[in-house]
């Protein structure tokens, strides 16, 4: 029986599921991603287009991950593998690190047809990888979100 998107997301983000995300990139692309500097004024996530442009310009440039594998201790139990995944620094404070910045993965940027595969297997098209720069224990955010969940309040995954 196929799972719906909500069920897949609940499995992926279950508090007992430790997820490993492996990103493979060309060494020069990885170095460029780590060294990327924000564009524009401090504090703005996106910039308005110039009068003759229609697309917003982000703080950072997108790069291409050759390969991304995702596996959880519970879900998904075997690695799910995706090719040509877009990767970008997340923006703002967590991305100023040149050693361990926060990233966003976009599974729909590089390969046509991959969108349905990733959505039907994980329930999502994009994934944010925070660096927990403000939380060396890596648990404060998770515990906070779970408290909201237990209280029946809206909470981010």
Query: Would you say residue 47 lies in a domain?
Result: no
Kindly give the confidence (pLDDT) of every residue in the chain, 157 residues in length, as a single tens digit, with 9 standing for 90 and above. Answer: 457 999 999 999 998 999 999 999 999 999 999 998 887 655 455 555 555 555 556 778 899 999 999 999 999 999 999 999 999 998 766 667 778 889 999 998 876 678 888 889 999 999 999 888 888 888 888 888 889 989 999 888 7
141 belongs to a structural domain: yes
Helices (H) and strands (E) in the chain, counts: 4, 7
pLDDT at 147: 92
The pLDDT of residue 80: 94
108 within some domain: yes
Residue 111 lies in a domain: yes
Within a domain: 70:
yes
Q: Is 157 within the bounds of a domain?
A: no
CA distance 67 to 46: 27
Instruction: Output the pLDDT for position 40.
Output: 65
Task: Report the pLDDT value the prediction gives residue 134, as an integer from 0 to 100.
Answer: 81
Q: Residue 130: its pLDDT value, please?
A: 86
pLDDT of residue 2: 56
Asked whether 149 and 156 are in contact (CB, 8 A), the reply is no
Q: How many domains does the chain have?
A: 1
Residue 46 domain flag: no
Q: Which domain holds residue 23?
A: 5-36+58-150
Whether 142 maps to a domain, the answer reads yes
């Amino acid at each position: 029986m196929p799972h719906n998107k909500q069920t897949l997301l609940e499995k992926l983000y279950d508090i007992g599921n430790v997820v490993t995300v492996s990103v493979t990139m060309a060494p020069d692309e990885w170095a460029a991603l780590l060294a990327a500097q924000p564009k524009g004024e401090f504090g703005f996530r996106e910039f308005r287009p110039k009068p003759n442009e229609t697309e917003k310009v982000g703080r950072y440039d997108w790069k291409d991950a050759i390969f991304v594998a995702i596996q959880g201790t519970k879900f998904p139990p075997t690695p799910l593998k995706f090719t040509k995944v877009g990767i970008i620094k997340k923006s703002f404070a967590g991305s100023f690190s040149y050693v361990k910045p926060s990233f966003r993965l976009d599974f729909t940027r590089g390969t046509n047809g991959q969108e349905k595969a990733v959505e039907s297997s994980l329930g999502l098209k994009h994934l944010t990888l925070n660096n927990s720069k403000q939380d060396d224990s890596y648990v404060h955010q998770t515990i906070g979100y779970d408290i909201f969940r237990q209280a029946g309040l809206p909470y981010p995954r």
